Each structure stands twice: as structure tokens, then as C-alpha cells.
């Protein structure tokens, strides 16, 4: 144990490790500034760059990014009243009113110091859990690990989103998408439609970006204003730090809440800030100032928000079960660099585990310091117009998606998964649940067939499996009965109920068809190749039927089944003038043009057309921004020795030079 601690400490302070950690922190800071992106998108963008990196450098970059996003997403919450991510919604209630009073610096100072405290607390608790959990985990066989994964999936499904059946079905969608390709036990191709691209499954980076980044980019394309109207911070940085010390016991309690919530799969960022905010309101004698600029309303959610990352790493590292959507992508990153989360990290890879823990703590310190130092610059970034920012975001996520297999099919898959993500966001389905289900799919299936091979079906009678099954049933029951409702505390959900139910019924019906097809496809394969998809398809088809029934029976009245951001039943809810399909056609047009002329030419045409027609930019600004995009794209392409996808022009007509053609 002492040797592992010493080795981890030595790795932590090597120049290489610190350099890549700072790179991860800077990337996380940039991603956190823009509303709606968050850790899942940041990690998904980071994953393509891990190819060929040594584990030490890759870990430093991943953990650095994970650590700082819950800190940097505070900027948008305080400066513009827009949550930077789902975990910073509660910060808006008092942070934004403080900014309007000219106390933005005080609010940010308090938030960053509370975030630092919460991050360090979470890392400390994670260290403690590694010490006590190590002997327990060594007794787990594949049978117990399978049931543990089932427990995690059930909690994710029940606790994600506002509607239980939508949460369960969302997780099931992830499991089905994760099962596409070769079966782990037999190698049989499942649900590939005879498309070679699907033989190895859909890449994690494509799913992560499609489900999360794509819908946010579509939203950016639809918005015509700026993120914020001004970039004034005011004074009071030191005052904010003093506020944290005056309320240190509150920060300690909320950090404990954040760590606990983060360790429970399925809760995480969606409710941790609201639970902490509710705690400070309930335990305060004077409640009159909350919602109008009480600094305690900033300290509580921010300390809990950062502490949840340490808590989320507990099930992630110890059992390989992601505590949140970002932890699901983090697992994908670990696997990519040759590290398998679970018992092995506590035995043969123990120094690596402690390196992760201490990097998390140190990255919090660096991240909080950088946020304070760069606040004036970052505040100016929020004055950029949405229409000028959106094309660059689309370029970045498209380039990241191409890293999966360096093929046009990556872009096609990104758009198709992105359309699914747009629908899920519009109709209130849990996107984190889908991503967690996707990441766990292969792992759960491997544990299942290994348990069947080693113990046959008698593994279900093992004492550990029975205990975990009982815990699963109890957790589902309690989770369904005492389900936290994060969204209802920030706005009245009746503002997004729909009078026209047809779009929801069509989307819910599509989800049901996916499960029905998974069930049908399972009949074509052997027992070991079909048992997983058959079970998932059957159970999740029931969940989809309950959703369809709930939407139909709502009759246009408000309930958790009836949710549609595009067809609200209340006139006060503002929907952008141009419909969502108008901007989806822009993206689909980029895809079609890429197939004809290649990505580089298509992107230039897209930039010029969009900036002129939608952003109403001058020709000078259009040319400058397009050349900037070309420079960024060429640099990334050169750095990663990547040929951008060709179109028919390059394949059939003419041999063009790089970057339009081959390197």
C-alpha cells in the first residue's frame, strides 16, 4: 500500500503529468464556459486525442477536464442566468441576481472557493473508500459483478429524468445501441443491417457527441442573440472568499451531500445542486433573501457540485459502474488507454488509482486558480453572438467524430444519433441514462455470459447475487416513491406541456419499434449471442408501451409523460421563430455536400452560406471567420495525421492535394 502511494505521488509531480493535466484543465474550462455542453461533451471531444498516448498523460488530461468543468460552468450561471450544465441550475437563482447588483466578482469568488473545497473533499472521501473497499471487492465474482451492474442500471433508469418509464426506456435504448455489432460471447453480428461500419459497434465518441453536443449545436444555430449582454464583473473577489470561510460548515455539509449523491448511479448532476440548495434553504433561519441574491445560495450548490465528481468516481473506479453520464465517457477513455475499471484497479493497478485520486484534487486547485485569473477574459467570451459560435462548434464535434474510424460513416452516424438526441431533449427523455446504458452494455453482457459459463443459471442462487437482487428491488421501489424532481424547482413544467400529442406519440412509437426489432433480431442468434438482447428488448418494450400509454391518456393535460418543448400549451413559453427542422436541414445539407465534395470543401461552403444568410455577417467577417476555421481544421488534421473524409469528387473525379485530398 505504501509503495502504491509513493509511486502515485511521484507520478503526480512529473513535468509530463502536470503538463497534460493543465491541458485537460484548460479544455475543461473552455467547454464549461459555453452553456449546455458540460463534462460529457468535453470528454467526448477529448477521447479522439487519446489514441497513441501513454496512460499517464491520458489520465492527467481526462481527470483535469473532469475536475474543472463543474467549476467553469459557473460563469454562465452567474453572468447570464443560463445554467452552464444541468449541475449548475440552482446557482442561477442567487448567482445571477448578485451579478445584476454588480456583485458578480463576489459571487464568482465564493463559487470558485466553494468548488475548490468541494473538489478536495470529494477526493479525500474517494481515497478513504479505496482503502476500505479493496478487500471487499476482491470477493466479487462475475455473477456478483453482473448483478451489481443490473443494480446500477435500474437506479439510473428510475432516478434519471422526471418520468420513471422514460428513464428506464432511455437506459434501454443505450443498452440496445451498445449491443450493435459483434456479440462478445460468440462474435455474431447483431442489428448491423449488413453495414460493415456497424460490425464493431457505434463508437463511444459518436454516441456521446450525437446525444449531447448535437442538440446543443442545433439550439445555438436557432438563437440569434449573444450569450450575455455585458462582460462587467465588478469587485469583491476577496469578499467571496471570506463568505466561503464564514459558511465553512455549510460547505462541508453540502460537500458531503454532493459526494453521497455522486456515488449513486443515476442521480449525479441532475439533482445534486437542487438537493444542496434545498438543504441550505430548509436549515436557514432567515429564508427571505434566497432567490434575490443570497451568497449561501451560491456556496451550497457549488460545493456539492464539485464534490460529486469524487463521489461519482467511487462506483466508476471500484465497480466499473458510471455514476453519471460524464463518468460513462470517462470509463470509455480508461478502456481506450488500456485500463479496465473494477477490481483490477484496486490490485495490480493500485498506483494508477491513487494517481487518479490525487490528480483530481490537484486539478481542482489549478482549475479554481485559473478560473479566478482568467475571469475577465472569459467574461468577454460570453458576448459572442450565437450564430457566429455555432458553426465552429459544429466543425469541432464533426472533426472529433471523424476520429472514430476516419470515415464518412462517422459523420452519418453522428447526425442520426444526433437526431435521436434532439428528440430525447425535446420530449423530456433522459440522455445521461442512454449514455450510461450504452457504456455498460458490453460490460453487463460479458459478465452475464461468463456467469452462465462458470455457474450456468445456478449463479442466480448465489448468496451475493440474491442480496444484490433484493437491494435492486428495494432501490427501485424507494427510488420510484421518493424520486427527486430537479426541474420542477426551477420552473413550472406546465410551460412545456403539449396540446398536440402526435410528435410525442411518433417518437415514443419509434423507441418501441427499436426494442421490438432488438427482440426480433435476437431470434436469429445462438443462446449466448441472443440472451442479452432478448432480455433487454422484452423488458424495455414494456417500458416503451407504458410511455405510449401515458402520453395517449394525458389527453393534452400536463403530466410527466406529456412534455414537448416545441409545442407548448402555454403561450408564455417562447419557441424560436424558425422551426427545428429548418436548422437540421442545414446540417443534413452539410452532410450531403460532404458526400459529394469532401468535408473540407463542404465546411467552407457551409460557413460562407450560414454566416451570410443566417448570421448576417459582412463579407469581411465571413471570410476571416472561414479562414480561421480552415486554419484550426488544418492544424488539427496535421497534428493527428488525419485525412478528412473524401466525397465523390476525390474518389471518382480528381486527385486533390491536402487538406482537400490525401496527405
Task: Note whether residue 468 is domain-resident.
Answer: yes
Instruction: Work out the average pLDDT over 82-111.
Output: 76
Task: Note whether residue 185 is domain-resident.
Answer: yes
**Residue 622: pLDDT above 90?**
yes
196 CB-side CA count, 13 A:
3
Is the separation of the CB atoms in 598 and 647 below 8 Å?
yes
Are 472 and 585 part of one and the same domain?
no
- In angstroms, rounded to a whole number, what is the distance separating the alpha carbons of residues 534 and 164? 22
Q: Name the DSSP class of 645.
A: P
Residue 623's pLDDT band, with cuts at 50, 70 and 90, is: very high
- Hey, is 60 helix, strand or coil? helix
Instruction: Work out the average pLDDT over 130-147.
Output: 73
- Mean pLDDT of all residues belonging to the chain: 79
Residue 30's pLDDT band, with cuts at 50, 70 and 90, is: confident
Instruction: Work out the average pLDDT over 188-205.
Output: 86
Residue 514 has a pLDDT of 94
**Residue 650: pLDDT above 70?**
no
Higher pLDDT, 549 or 640: 549
- Hey, is 579 helix, strand or coil? coil
Task: Note whether residue 464 is domain-resident.
Answer: yes
Is the separation of the CB atoms in 389 and 220 below 8 Å?
yes
Residue where a domain stops, chosen among 481, 506, 532 = 481
Residue 542's pLDDT band, with cuts at 50, 70 and 90, is: very high
pLDDT by residue (tens digit) across 452-501? 888 788 888 888 889 888 988 887 777 666 554 444 333 343 445 656 78
Residue where a domain stops, chosen among 429, 448, 481 = 481
Residue 544 has a pLDDT of 92
Residue 494 has a pLDDT of 41
Residue 262 has a pLDDT of 78
Residue where a domain stops, chosen among 481, 509, 544 = 481
DSSP of 334-380, one letter per residue? HHHTT---SGGGGTTTHHHHHHHHHHHHHHHHHHHHHHHHHHHHHHH
Is the separation of the CB atoms in 71 and 109 below 8 Å?
no
C-alpha of 590 from chain center:
25
How many residues does this entry show for the chain? 663
**Residue 646 zone, left/alpha/beta (φ > 0; ψ -120 to 50; rest):** beta
Residue 423 has a pLDDT of 92
Structural domain tally of the chain? 2
**Residue 176: pLDDT above 90?**
yes
SS3 content of the chain, % helix, strand, coil (to 5): 75, 0, 25
**Residue 166: pLDDT above 80?**
yes
Task: Note whether residue 440 is domain-resident.
Answer: yes
Task: Note whether residue 536 is domain-resident.
Answer: no
Q: What is the 3-state secondary structure (H, E, C) of 122-149?
A: HHHHHHHHHHHHHHHHCCCCHHHHHHHH
Task: Note whether residue 533 is domain-resident.
Answer: no
Nearest 5°: the CA angle 467, 473, 478 is 120
Task: Specify burial of residue 471 (Cβ count, 10 A radius: 0-12, 13-18, 19+).
Answer: middle
Residue ranges of alpha helices (H) inside 556-657 are 580-597, 599-613, 619-639, 648
pLDDT by residue (tens digit) across 232-289? 555 667 887 888 889 889 999 999 888 887 776 655 555 677 778 878 887 888 777 8
Instruction: Work out the average pLDDT over 122-142.
Output: 74
Higher pLDDT, 36 or 180: 180
Higher pLDDT, 436 or 251: 251
pLDDT by residue (tens digit) across 627-649? 999 998 888 777 666 677 777 77
Higher pLDDT, 334 or 291: 334
CA-wise closest residue to 56 among 360, 357, 355: 355
pTM, two decimals, is: 0.73
**Residue 572: pLDDT above 60?**
no
**Residue 619: pLDDT above 90?**
yes
Nearest 5°: the CA angle 186, 190, 191 is 175
- In angstroms, rounded to a whole number, what is the distance separating the alpha carbons of residues 161 and 407? 34
Are 343 and 202 part of one and the same domain?
yes
Q: What share of the chain has pLDDT > 90, as a percent?
A: 10
Query: Distance of CA 258 to CAs 124, 261, 268, 276, Å?
Result: 13, 5, 8, 8
Domain of 642? 580-653
Are 600 and 477 part of one and the same domain?
no
Task: Note whether residue 532 is domain-resident.
Answer: no
Is the separation of the CB atoms in 421 and 207 below 8 Å?
no
Most confident of the following: 14-18, 326-330, 373-377, 451-455: 14-18
Residues whose CB falls within 8 Å of the CB of residue 543, separated by 6 or more in sequence, listed in order: 165, 168, 169, 172
Amino acid at each position: 500500500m505504501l509503495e502504491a502511494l509513493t509511486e502515485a505521488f511521484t507520478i503526480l509531480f512529473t513535468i509530463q503529468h502536470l503538463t497534460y493535466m493543465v491541458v485537460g484543465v484548460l479544455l475543461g474550462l473552455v467547454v464549461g464556459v459555453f452553456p449546455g455542453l458540460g463534462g460529457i461533451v468535453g470528454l467526448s471531444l477529448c477521447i479522439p486525442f487519446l489514441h497513441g498516448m501513454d496512460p499517464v498523460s491520458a489520465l492527467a488530461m481526462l481527470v483535469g477536464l473532469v475536475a474543472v468543468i463543474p467549476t467553469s460552468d459557473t460563469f454562465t450561471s452567474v453572468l447570464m442566468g443560463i445554467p452552464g450544465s444541468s449541475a449548475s441550475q440552482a446557482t442561477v437563482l442567487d448567482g445571477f441576481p448578485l451579478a445584476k447588483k454588480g456583485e458578480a466578482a463576489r459571487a464568482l469568488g465564493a463559487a470558485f472557493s466553494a468548488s475548490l473545497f468541494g473538489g478536495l473533499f470529494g477526493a479525500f472521501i474517494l481515497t478513504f473508500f479505496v482503502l476500505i473497499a479493496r478487500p471487499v471487492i476482491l470477493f466479487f465474482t462475475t455473477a456478483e459483478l453482473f448483478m451489481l451492474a443490473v443494480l446500477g442500471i435500474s437506479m439510473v433508469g428510475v432516478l434519471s429524468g422526471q418520468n420513471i418509464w422514460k428513464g428506464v426506456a432511455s437506459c434501454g435504448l443505450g443498452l440496445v445501441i451498445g449491443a450493435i455489432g459483434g456479440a462478445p460471447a460468440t462474435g455474431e453480428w447483431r442489428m448491423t443491417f449488413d453495414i460493415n461500419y456497424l460490425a464493431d459497434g457505434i463508437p463511444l465518441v459518436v454516441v456521446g457527441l450525437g446525444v449531447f453536443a448535437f442538440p446543443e449545436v442545433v439550439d445555438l444555430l436557432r438563437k440569434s442573440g449573444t450569450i450575455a449582454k455585458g462582460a462587467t464583473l465588478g469587485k469583491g473577489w476577496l469578499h467571496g472568499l471570506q463568505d466561503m470561510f464564514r459558511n465553512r460548515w455549510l460547505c462541508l455539509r453540502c460537500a458531503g451531500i454532493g459526494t453521497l449523491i455522486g456515488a449513486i448511479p443515476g442521480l449525479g448532476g441532475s439533482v445534486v445542486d437542487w438537493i444542496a440548495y434545498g438543504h441550505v434553504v430548509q436549515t436557514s433561519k432567515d429564508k427571505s433573501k434566497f432567490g434575490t441574491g443570497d451568497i449561501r445560495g451560491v456556496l451550497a450548490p457549488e460545493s456539492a457540485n464539485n464534490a460529486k465528481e469524487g463521489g461519482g468516481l467511487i462506483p466508476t473506479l471500484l465497480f466499473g459502474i458510471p455514476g453519471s453520464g460524464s463518468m460513462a465517457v470517462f470509463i470509455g477513455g480508461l478502456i481506450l488507454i488500456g485500463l479496465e475499471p473494477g477490481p483490477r484497479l484496486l490490485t495490480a493497478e493500485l498506483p494508477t488509482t491513487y494517481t487518479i485520486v490525487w490528480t483530481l484534487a490537484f486539478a481542482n486547485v489549478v482549475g479554481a486558480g485559473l478560473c479566478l485569473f482568467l475571469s475577465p477574459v472569459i467574461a468577454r467570451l460570453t458576448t459572442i453572438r450565437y450564430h457566429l459560435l455555432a458553426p465552429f462548434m459544429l466543425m469541432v464535434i464533426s472533426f472529433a467524430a471523424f476520429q472514430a474510424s476516419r470515415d464518412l460513416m462517422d459523420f452519418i452516424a453522428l447526425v442520426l444519433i444526433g437526431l435521436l438526441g434532439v428528440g430525447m431533449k425535446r420530449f423530456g427523455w433522459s440522455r445521461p441514462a442512454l449514455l450510461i446504458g450504452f457504456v455498460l452494455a458490453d460490460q453487463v453482457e460479458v459478465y452475464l455470459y461468463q456467469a452462465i459459463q462458470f455457474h450456468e443459471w445456478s449463479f442466480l442462487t448465489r448468496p451475493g447475487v440474491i442480496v444484490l437482487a433484493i437491494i435492486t428491488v428495494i432501490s427501485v421501489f424507494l427510488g420510484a416513491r421518493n424520486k427527486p424532481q430537479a426541474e420542477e424547482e426551477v420552473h413550472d413544467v406546465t410551460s412545456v406541456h403539449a396540446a398536440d400529442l402526435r410528435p410525442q406519440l411518433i417518437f415514443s412509437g419509434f423507441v418501441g419499434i427499436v426494442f421490438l426489432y432488438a427482440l426480433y433480431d435476437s431470434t436469429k442468434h445462438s443462446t449466448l449471442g441472443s440472451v442479452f438482447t432478448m432480455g433487454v428488448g422484452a423488458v424495455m418494450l414494456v417500458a416503451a408501451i407504458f410511455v405510449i400509454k401515458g402520453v395517449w391518456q394525458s389527453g393534452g393535460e400536463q403530466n410527466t409523460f406529456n412534455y414537448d418543448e416545441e409545442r407548448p400549451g402555454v403561450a408564455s413559453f417562447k419557441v424560436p421563430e424558425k422551426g427545428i427542422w429548418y436548422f437540421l436541414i442545414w446540417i443534413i445539407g452539410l452532410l450531403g455536400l460532404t458526400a459529394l465534395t469532401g468535408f473540407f470543401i463542404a465546411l467552407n461552403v457551409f460557413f460562407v452560406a450560414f454566416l451570410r444568410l443566417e448570421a448576417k455577417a459582412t463579407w469581411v467577417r465571413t471570410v476571416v471567420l472561414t479562414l480561421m476555421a480552415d486554419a484550426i481544421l488544418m492544424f488539427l488534421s496535421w497534428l493527428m495525421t488525419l485525412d478528412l473524409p473524401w466525397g465523390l469528387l476525390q474518389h471518382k473525379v480528381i486527385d486533390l492535394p491536402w487538406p482537400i485530398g490525401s496527405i
